[in-house]
Amino acid sequence: MDKILKNLRLSKRVDGDRKVVTVKNCKIGGGFVVIAGPCSIESEDQLCETADAVKKSGADILRGGVFKPRTSPYDFQGLGLVGLKILKKAAEQTGLPVITEVTDPRNVEWASEYVDILQVGARNMSNFPLLKEMGKTKKPILIKRGMNSTISEWLNSAEYVLNEGNPDVILCERGIRTFEPLTRNTMDLSGIAVAKRLTNLPVIADPSHATGIRDLVEIMSLASVAVGADGLMIEVHRNPEEAKSDKDQTLTCGQFDTLIKKARTLRKLVEGFYEDL
Ligand code: PEP
Ligand code: MN
């Protein structure tokens, strides 16, 4: 681990410090936050209904993708600007801060006007021009770990954003590609623990993309809480079977309600186990 530390200038944890990223009245780091919402924004109706439900269950932040990085060019690519307008409306209606992924450096500046947090997706974790552009904004940046990236590479991506003068970075473990085909990715729980030891940045977990399987999302969320994750990102849809992307890993609003209650209960227990979370 010493080798990684040499490259960490701005995110390195010194004397047990912990960074807190604040959006609206939500604090990320040093507590437990839950980000929830659909993989993709499909319509105003779909997002607002899902947003109301996750808010009622106690979600802190609303998610929704509008620039979708899809494996096939023939799959739904996202609503772009129309989707951003819907996301902004849902933010106003619910009062929740909102997050979306931006995939192209040319879209960072104007898209950031619509959201509270910008997401760097797994496929773009090593897109250095994108990271630099994100570093020039005043919005917090959530960096997903690339599916083919080491922990060290992930932390260096955070340094890219920090080095441009943006101090608000959140890390997100979302599973890596291994030889195991039964799950969509392999969730690297130790990656969460390592990132929290080496850096002062908040580290959250995304068991939806890490597993790709609805039935595994709750248990891997609880496992993430147990290793000290500062929060969760969960895909939720009012009707997962109708979701235009990632339906197999998407929870119903009812399943999310159960998950968030269990996660918060476990978090309280874990806070009693480890002083230094
Ligand atoms: C997403 O959050 O919908 C997404 C595409 O995630 P990832 O970049 O982790 O695949
Ligand atoms: Mn998704």
**Alpha helices, DSSP H, located in 74-127:** 81-94, 108-111
Cα–Cα nearest to 78, from 116, 43, 129: 43
Q: How many Å lie between the centroid of ligand 2 and the Cα of residue 245?
A: 6
Question: What pLDDT band is residue 6 in, cutting at 50, 70 and 90?
Answer: confident
Element at 154 (helix H, strand E): helix 151-163
What's the CA-to-centroid distance between 212 and ligand 2, angstroms?
Answer: 9
Closest CA to 70 of 197, 224, 246, 233: 246
Cβ atoms of 18 and 169 closer than 8 Å: no
Q: pLDDT for 80-130, tens place per residue? A: 999 999 999 999 999 999 999 999 999 999 999 999 999 999 999 999 999
pLDDT computed for residue 227 by the predictor = 98
- Residue whose CA is closest, atom 4 of ligand 1? 121
Nearest-CA residue for atom 1 of ligand 1: 39
Calculate how far, in angstroms, residue 68's C-alpha sits from the geometric centre of ligand 2.
8
Per-residue pLDDT, 4: 83
Tokens of 138: 């005043």
How far apart CA 206 and CA 174 sit, in angstroms, is 5
Residues 34, 251, 69: CA angle, nearest 5 degrees: 80
From 130, 209, 217, give the residue whose CB has the most ligand 1 atoms within 8 Å, as the site to mutate: 209
Q: Which of 3.20.20.70, 3.40.50.720, 3.30.300.10, 3.40.50.2300 would CATH assign to domain 19-270? A: 3.20.20.70
Mean pLDDT of 14-24: 96
Instruction: From 100, 170, 206, give the residue whose CB has the most ligand 1 atoms within 8 Å, as the site to mutate.
Output: 206
CB 78 within 8 A of CB 107: no
pLDDT tens track for 152-177 = 999 999 999 999 999 999 999 999 99
Show me where the domains of the chain are located: 19-270
Distance 86 CA to ligand 1 centre (A): 19
- Given the CA of residue 123, which atom of ligand 1 is nearest to it? 8
Coarse DSSP helix, strand, coil percentages of the chain, rounded to the nearest 5 percent: 45, 15, 40
